Structure 1
Amino acid sequence: MNFQHTEDRRMLADTLERFIAGEYGFETRDKVANSDTGYSPDMWRRFAELGTIGALFSEADGGFGGAAFDISVVFESLGRGLVVEPFLGALMAGRAISSAGTDDQKARLAGLIDGSAVAAFAHGEPDTHYEPSRVVTRAARAGDGWVLSGAKAVVPHGEHADFFVVSARTSGNVDDEAGISLFIVPRNAPGLSLRGYPLIDGGRAAELTFTDTRLGADALLGAEGEAFATIESALGFGVLALCAEALGAMDVAQRDTLEYLRTRKQFGVPIGSFQALQHRMADVALEIEQARSAVINAAAALDGPRLVRERALSAAKVTIGRVGALVATEAVQLHGGIGMTWELPLAHYAKRLVMIDHQLGDEDHHLARYIALSKQ
């Protein structure tokens, strides 16, 4: 199978990376990441103008891409620039709406694609431990509408999202795959409260609390109680995106470390001439290529049968978690004390690599999941 990117994808990556290098340098990124909003609305619109958001969606949804490798190309480029804008939420929430929404609900995708709206996918809860079927938040019918009660945890950009795609249980036990429904919830819904806070790797997230939050009948996304497949698919898109983002961050960490080894001198010679350090960088390079293969495999399997897809995604997340930690550790250690300083971009890449492991399931979770899926 040919895994070379098409000319259109290469052009997209080149355009995006040139924009990030010219307009989203580290100082700009650092300012945006630590702002009160955790992202730049202006940058979000400018990324949209480049077609970056549109590349995540198919032509039927108003985009011009939407394939797994389109998503990989975009997020790998975003990872190289440590971009903190709400791409992940747009991808996951948008894909859920695309998969299960009515025509009126799908009309919301236009606002995501043109950068005029921000969406968040609110599925994880305080005690779910990454399990996709564990949903404690409840939704009950109330007249022609619904009432939501419960909480969602660590929702990226939740503080400033215009709307949320929220999972809630309408029947069954807390761990059942059946009985989960999805709802589109506007940020101004009565009974919804938000508590925002900064993330340690940049940007912001929020805790969502639903206290008898009333929604209309049109808030239900898809069939009642049958949302698990949609949730699993949306999470799969998110896992692929995070893995590709980590790959881009690894490439930059490796590049910057090699440059430092070539220029930092000890005993009058570049420290990169020391064989022990060369061996360590060779190991890093080999591991990054293993991670790249895992991401390519996951992207190739994304449209395949469920078991093949989910195994490939979990395998990629396990590999990214392990290799990301290795790259972060080696890059910091080979830089010495300066590698831990706030002023050096490398420290932020290392931090992001570590935190990606904890999003949408860490290495341990996905290893156990891969083993369980392999027995089916």
Structure 2
Amino acid sequence: MDFEPSEDQRLLVESVTRMLGDTYGFAQRKSYMGQAEGYAPAIWSQFAELGLLGLPFAEEYGGFGGGAQEVMLVMQAFGRALVLEPFLSTVVLAGTAVNRAGSAQQKQAILPAIAEGRLKMAFAHGERQARYDLNDVVTTAKRDGSGWVLDGSKTVVSHGEAADKLIVSARTGGDRHDEDGITLFLVDAQAPGVARRGYLSRDDTRAADIALSNVSVPDADVLGEVGHGLPIVRRVVEAGIAATAGETVGAMEAMNEMTLEYSKTRVQFGQPIGSYQVVQHRLADMFMTQEQGRSMAMLATMSVDNPDDAARTHDIALAKVGIGQAGRYVSQSAVQMHGGIGMTEEYAVGHYFRRCMVIERLFGDPAYYLAKLAAEVR
């Protein structure tokens, strides 16, 4: 894969960066957080106008026809601005599931609506007892005539509160940890029996816990093959890891720029702290770590469409560990270099820190993936 941006990709990044520069200052972001949805619907509409919401979808579905590299570039821009809108949950996670498992009719009904900004979705897979094990599912779906009845609960569903439609995983067969027997369903978020409890996550984004009680779903809303949903779940998670790796790179770029500028203006003992060699060494280490993280984001982007399951899983795990460690080092160093002001709500660097810490644990923390990598060499 050639990571030198094409002319179209450069224009895409320029348009996104320009739009965010005009609309997504730190003070503006705080006002968006205060809106009922936890983000700005007007910004979501602008994303649709720019074609960002159809970025990875085929042109026949109103999309941009882009791929993982375009998503990475846009997520980097989002990471620099700390974007709150549900792009990850709707376009990357739910969009990947529909793209990979949906029927022609489902794609035609869903993907254009996402691209136009009319439909917001959430991927509801995680359960309280599962930790990071994707095959640990106890939510059930039982046959009921020509459809299914879902019972169970999902936790920490990104933007689950604002979603119009949910993609829910449920067990149609097997035991709790079996890889077979997991099925994906399209569920109307307003359907009888669906209850959502929304809350603010530590990184200022919205999430929800979702309870399902006797929720009826017709056969037409089964996504993919019955009992064979786990491979799709894995591909969705891998797409999420690649996207958030790009977001972390953007956040690290912003933190390094803020810290460098602060080192030039913060005076201590009569001179800027950036004149001290120890500070210069730390700034150099932060920049080098950022670039190492960029390499890991590129690895994830390059791997996400690899048809070799074993190689793809291995490389995504490597990237997840690398980007998590890089984001942690840069964000902790940025806060430390800013001193007390770095811990305040009124200053942006602490918000970048919190987003990087959430991303580090999203879809599995570095320790989880290190264990998986270690198991390969036993």
Matched-pair identity in %: 42
- Structure 1 distance, partners of 2:162, 2:324, is 29
Write the letter of the residue equivalent to 2:48: A
* Pick aligned residue for 2:265 from 263, 277, 285: 263
- Structure 2 distance, partners of 1:371, 1:76, is 30
Offset from partner CA, 1:218-252 (integer Å, 9 cap, x none): 11111100111111111111111111101100100
Note closer, same or farther for the CA distance 1:54–1:68 as it changes in structure 2 (3 Å cut): same
Write the letter of the residue equivalent to 2:367: D
- Structure 2 distance, partners of 1:295, 1:147, is 40
Write the letter of the residue equivalent to 1:264: R
Offset of residue 111 of structure 1 = 1.2
* Pick aligned residue for 1:350 from 341, 349, 353: 353
Offset of residue 169 of structure 1 = 0.7
Which residue of structure 2 lines up, in the alignment, with residue 184 of structure 1? 186
Residue 161 of structure 2 aligns to a residue whose secondary structure is helix
In terms of mean alpha carbon deviation, does 182-191 or 95-104 score higher?
95-104
Alignment of 1:108-127 (within 5 A): 108-127=110-129
- Structure 2 distance, partners of 1:74, 1:173, is 40
Contact 1:86/1:157 (<8 A) preserved? yes
In terms of mean alpha carbon deviation, does 37-46 or 272-281 score higher?
37-46
- Structure 2 distance, partners of 1:197, 1:211, is 21
Write the letter of the residue equivalent to 1:98: N
- Say if 2:360 is the partner of 1:363: no
- Say if 2:329 is the partner of 1:326: yes
Residue 16 of structure 1 aligns to a residue whose secondary structure is helix
Contact 1:34/1:203 (<8 A) preserved? no
Which residue of structure 2 lines up, in the alignment, with residue 340 of structure 1? 343
Contact 1:58/1:67 (<8 A) preserved? no
- Structure 2 distance, partners of 1:122, 1:41, is 22
Residue 197 of structure 2 aligns to a residue whose secondary structure is strand
Contact 2:245/2:300 (<8 A) preserved? no
- Structure 2 distance, partners of 1:60, 1:92, is 20
Offset of residue 29 of structure 1 = 1.0
- Structure 2 distance, partners of 1:334, 1:65, is 42
Which residue of structure 2 lines up, in the alignment, with residue 93 of structure 1? 94
Which residue of structure 2 lines up, in the alignment, with residue 163 of structure 1? 165
Which residue of structure 1 lines up, in the alignment, with residue 11 of structure 2? 11
Contact 1:128/1:134 (<8 A) preserved? yes
Write the letter of the residue equivalent to 1:348: H
Aligned residues: 375
Offset of residue 56 of structure 1 = 2.7
Unaligned runs of 5+ in 1: none
- Structure 1 distance, partners of 2:359, 2:369, is 13
Which residue of structure 2 lines up, in the alignment, with residue 248 of structure 1? 250
Query: TM-score, normalization: structure 1?
Result: 0.97
- Say if 2:33 is the partner of 1:33: yes
- Say if 2:138 is the partner of 1:145: no
Residue 356 of structure 1 aligns to a residue whose secondary structure is helix
- Say if 2:240 is the partner of 1:234: no
Offset of residue 375 of structure 1 = 4.4
Offset of residue 270 of structure 1 = 1.1
Which residue of structure 2 lines up, in the alignment, with residue 44 of structure 1? 44
Write the letter of the residue equivalent to 2:93: M
Write the letter of the residue equivalent to 1:198: L
Query: TM-score, normalization: structure 2?
Result: 0.96
CA RMSD of aligned residues (A): 1.3
- Structure 1 distance, partners of 2:302, 2:320, is 15
Offset of residue 204 of structure 1 = 1.1
Offset from partner CA, 1:178-226 (integer Å, 9 cap, x none): 1110000001111111111111211211100011111112111111001
Offset from partner CA, 1:320-356 (integer Å, 9 cap, x none): 2111111111101111111111111111111111111
In terms of mean alpha carbon deviation, does 145-154 or 170-179 score higher?
170-179
- Say if 2:109 is the partner of 1:105: no
In terms of mean alpha carbon deviation, does 46-55 or 149-158 score higher?
46-55
Offset from partner CA, 1:136-188 (integer Å, 9 cap, x none): 11101100010001000001111110000110010011111111100000011
Which residue of structure 2 lines up, in the alignment, with residue 219 of structure 1? 221
- Structure 1 distance, partners of 2:179, 2:13, is 38
Offset of residue 30 of structure 1 = 1.4
Offset of residue 33 of structure 1 = 2.3
Note closer, same or farther for the CA distance 1:221–1:171 as it changes in structure 2 (3 Å cut): same
- Say if 2:59 is the partner of 1:56: no
- Structure 1 distance, partners of 2:63, 2:370, is 34
- Structure 2 distance, partners of 1:98, 1:327, is 35
Contact 2:84/2:205 (<8 A) preserved? yes
- Structure 2 distance, partners of 1:302, 1:325, is 23
- Structure 2 distance, partners of 1:310, 1:43, is 35
Which residue of structure 1 lines up, in the alignment, with residue 195 of structure 2? 193
Offset of residue 95 of structure 1 = 1.3
Offset from partner CA, 1:293-318 (integer Å, 9 cap, x none): 11111111222111221212111111
Unaligned runs of 5+ in 2: none
Offset of residue 103 of structure 1 = 2.2
- Structure 1 distance, partners of 2:319, 2:231, is 20
In terms of mean alpha carbon deviation, does 52-61 or 212-221 score higher?
52-61
- Structure 2 distance, partners of 1:121, 1:375, is 33
